[in-house]
């Protein structure tokens, strides 16, 4: 029996994890078993914490993107199969990754055709980011080689999903739909809100087809690698403790603002900055996101009560020197530790630039 393999791509911060949780709810409600696969360049992932907190079985692939760790992807799927035998795999590739058709979808079909039905490739976009990149609106942006990756992601999509429709009025929405349709005519375009649920059924309906077997796009791996090398990555886990209870929601917001302002001063564009804070007791979780240096922090989940001890996980991806990102986060942690009278012990801190993507397989045709 073959399981569905649904991959939801898109740039950092587009809403992939939020959308995958919606897909998981959708399939679970129809009696299907789901298994989720998260992916990152390194471990200590906010996304894994979020999806595990929702109770879904999840496997985390770290140390590179799906395409460069293809065997880890199939191993992760095998582990999920042994644990829960999913009917549907939901996989989130790294947001700075492209060429998924040739390096993941076609190899899966060719090598494991009997095991998986590969759904059309969805690529999510954040409408504010996309409107800037397509020149419809002004604002802070990434540099050309990072934009190369962004555009390649859209070029290989079967379905371009404009997410966050709740942020758009009809005029902005139509302008974006037209611009994307004109530029990326190979894709269906569907506009949804993973937050409100608006129009998700129209998108989910398209995923029951199989991916179109067209020739994969050409990719200049030098430009792709240079684009990734412009991005800084920081993953950190701290254990925080205080003698008296403190407001964890306020702490995350404060920390996000300090880091955001520091990066704005250094003219660094944030792609995605996300944090979770989990008290050591209970199952509550605070989640905070920033999806652009000029975007205000957004608390997705708030803690119901103050806490004294907890684990803070922080993932920052921005177009800038990782040392600079690290300096801003360290400074922010010192400031909040002082203000909230807490001790923050780093359990794991890593900052780096993603290495050159070297796919395990690359198959331009099916």
Q: Which residues bind ligand GDP (CB under 6 A)?
A: 10, 12-18, 95, 163-164, 166-167, 193-195, 272, 274, 289, 291, 298, 300
Least separation in angstroms between CB 203 and ligand GDP: 12
Placement of tokens 């103050």 in the chain: 306
Tokens of residue 14, six digits? 């587009």
User: Among Mg ion, ligand GDP, none, what does residue 49 contact (CB within 5–8 Å per kind)?
Assistant: none
Task: Count Cβ atoms below 10 Å from residue 296 Cβ, excluding itself.
Answer: 11
- Given ligand GDP, Mg ion, none, residue 302, with its beta carbon under 5 to 8 Å by kind, binds none
- Smallest distance from the beta carbon of 170 to Mg ion, in angstroms? 28
Residue 259 CB, nearest distance to Mg ion (Å)?
19
Token couple for 85: 């035998």
Cβ proximity to ligand GDP, 91 vs 344, nearer residue: 91
User: Least distance from C-beta 363 to Mg ion, angstroms?
Assistant: 26
Write the burial class of residue 215 (CB in 10 Å: 0-12 exposed, 13-18 middle, 19+ buried): exposed
Q: In the complex with ligand GDP, which residue's Cβ is closer, 15 or 35?
A: 15
CA angle 169, 175, 178 (to 5 degrees): 135
Which of Mg ion, ligand GDP, none has residue 300 at its interface (CB below 5 to 8 Å by kind)? ligand GDP
Round to whole Å and give the CA distance between 217 and 196: 34
Question: How far is CA 343 from its chain centroid?
Answer: 30
User: Which tokens go with 147?
Assistant: 């934009």
Can you tell me whether residue 9 is helix, strand or coil?
strand
Q: Closer to ligand GDP at the Cβ: 274 or 351?
A: 274
- What is the distance, to the nearest Å, from the Cα of residue 82 to the centroid of all Cα atoms in its chain? 26
* Alpha helices per DSSP H over the chain: 16-29, 46-53, 70-84, 100, 106-112, 127-133, 144-155, 170-183, 200-206, 221-229, 248-265, 322-339
Our CB check for Mg ion shows the closer of 69 and 117 to be 69
Which one of Mg ion, ligand GDP, none is in contact with 291 (Cβ closer than 5 to 8 A by kind)?
ligand GDP
Residues 142-161, one symbol each (x = binds Mg ion by CB under 5 A, - = not), give --------------------
Length of the chain: 366
Nearer to ligand GDP, 206 or 301 (CB): 301
220 contacts: CB under 8 Å, gap ≥ 6:
148
- Give CA–CA dist 51/65, Å, rounded: 19
Q: For Mg ion, which stretch binds (CB under 5 A), given 8-16, 66-74, 152-160, 214-222?
A: 8-16
**What's the count of helices (H) and strands (E) in the chain, helices before strands?**
12, 14
Query: Nearest approach, Cβ of 92 to Mg ion (angstroms)?
Result: 5
The count of residues interacting with Mg ion (CB under 5 A) is 3
- Give the residue closest to Mg ion by C-beta: 17
Which residues within the stretch 25-64 sit at the binding site for Mg ion (CB under 5 A)?
47
In the list Mg ion, ligand GDP, none, the entry touching 94 (Cβ below 5 to 8 angstroms by class) is none
Residues 6+ apart with CB under 8 A from 313: 44, 45, 46, 49, 235, 236, 237, 275, 276, 277, 278
Among 7, 16, 77, 233, binds Mg ion (CB under 5 A): 16
Q: Which of 9, 17, 34, 271 binds Mg ion (CB under 5 A)?
A: 17
Summarize as ranges the residues that interact with Mg ion (CB under 5 A): 16-17, 47
């Amino acid at each position: 029996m073959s399981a569905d393999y649904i991959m939801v791509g898109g740039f950092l911060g587009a809403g992939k994890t939020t959308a995958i949780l919606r897909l998981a709810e959708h399939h679970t409600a129809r009696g299907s078993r789901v298994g989720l696969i998260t992916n990152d360049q390194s471990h200590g992932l906010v996304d894994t914490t979020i999806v595990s907190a929702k109770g879904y079985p999840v496997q985390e692939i770290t140390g590179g993107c799906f395409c460069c760790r293809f065997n880890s992807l199939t191993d992760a799927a095998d582990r999920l199969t042994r644990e829960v035998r999913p009917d549907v795999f939901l996989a989130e590739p790294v947001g700075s990754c492209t060429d998924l058709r040739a390096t993941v979808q076609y190899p899966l079909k060719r090598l494991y055709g009997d095991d998986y039905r590969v759904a059309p490739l969805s690529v999510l976009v954040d409408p504010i980011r996309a409107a800037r990149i397509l020149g419809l609106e002004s604002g802070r942006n990434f540099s050309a080689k990072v934009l190369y990756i962004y555009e390649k992601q859209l070029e290989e999509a079967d379905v371009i999903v404009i997410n966050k429709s709740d942020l758009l009025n009809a005029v902005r929405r139509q302008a974006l739909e037209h611009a994307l349709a004109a530029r990326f005519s190979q894709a269906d375009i569907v506009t949804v809100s993973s937050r409100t649920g608006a129009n998700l059924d129209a998108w989910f309906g398209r995923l029951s087809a199989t991916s179109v077997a067209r020739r994969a796009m050409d990719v200049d791996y030098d430009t792709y690698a240079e684009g990734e090398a412009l991005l800084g990555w920081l993953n950190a886990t701290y254990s925080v403790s205080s003698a008296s209870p403190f407001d964890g929601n306020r702490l995350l917001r404060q920390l996000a603002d300090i880091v955001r302002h520091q990066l704005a001063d250094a003219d660094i564009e944030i792609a995605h900055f996300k944090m979770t804070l989990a008290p050591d007791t209970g199952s509550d979780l605070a989640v905070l996101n920033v999806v652009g240096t000029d975007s205000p922090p957004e608390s997705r989940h708030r803690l119901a009560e103050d806490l004294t001890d907890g684990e803070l996980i922080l993932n920052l991806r921005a177009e800038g020197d990782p040392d600079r990102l690290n300096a801003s986060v360290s400074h922010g942690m010192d400031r909040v530790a002082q203000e909230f009278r807490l001790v923050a012990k780093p359990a794991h801190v890593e900052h780096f630039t993603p290495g050159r993507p070297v796919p395990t397989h690359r198959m331009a045709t099916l």
